[in-house]
Amino acid sequence: MMADPTGQIILTERPLIDNTSMDIEGMLDTYNENTFGQTYATFMKGHGFDPDGRSQVKYISDPELAYVMLRYRQVGGEIYPI
């Protein structure tokens, strides 16, 4: 991610996808189709998931990798484990 300008911004700013940064109900009403916000809200609501329902990252000591794993979990990574 550090080799890509967008990846660098994400790793520097470390934004989160959670209930404090997103309003799932509001996103369904206000976001345009085929945007991340609308697609994410539809998926989360359709499956009964809560953005804050993801477990904490454990056993990863590297802060950058722990953040990447957290974001992976926030966008449904635990649903489809690798």
* Number of independent structural domains in the chain: 1
Residues 64, 11 contacting (CB under 8 angstroms): yes
Please report whether residue 82 resides in a domain: no
Q: Does 43 fall in a domain?
A: yes
In-domain check, residue 80: no
Asked, for residue 59, whether it belongs to a domain, the answer is: yes
Per DSSP, the residues of the chain read -TTSHHHHHHHHH----STTT--HHHHHHHSPTTSHHHHHHHHHHHHT--GGGSPPP-S---HHHHHHHHHHHHTTTTTS--
Give the global pTM: 0.65
**Structural domain for 40, as ranges:** 5-74
Query: Could you read off the pLDDT of 8-67 as tens digits, one per residue?
Result: 998 999 988 888 877 777 777 777 778 877 787 888 888 888 877 777 788 999 999 999
Is residue 79 a part of any domain in this protein?
A: no
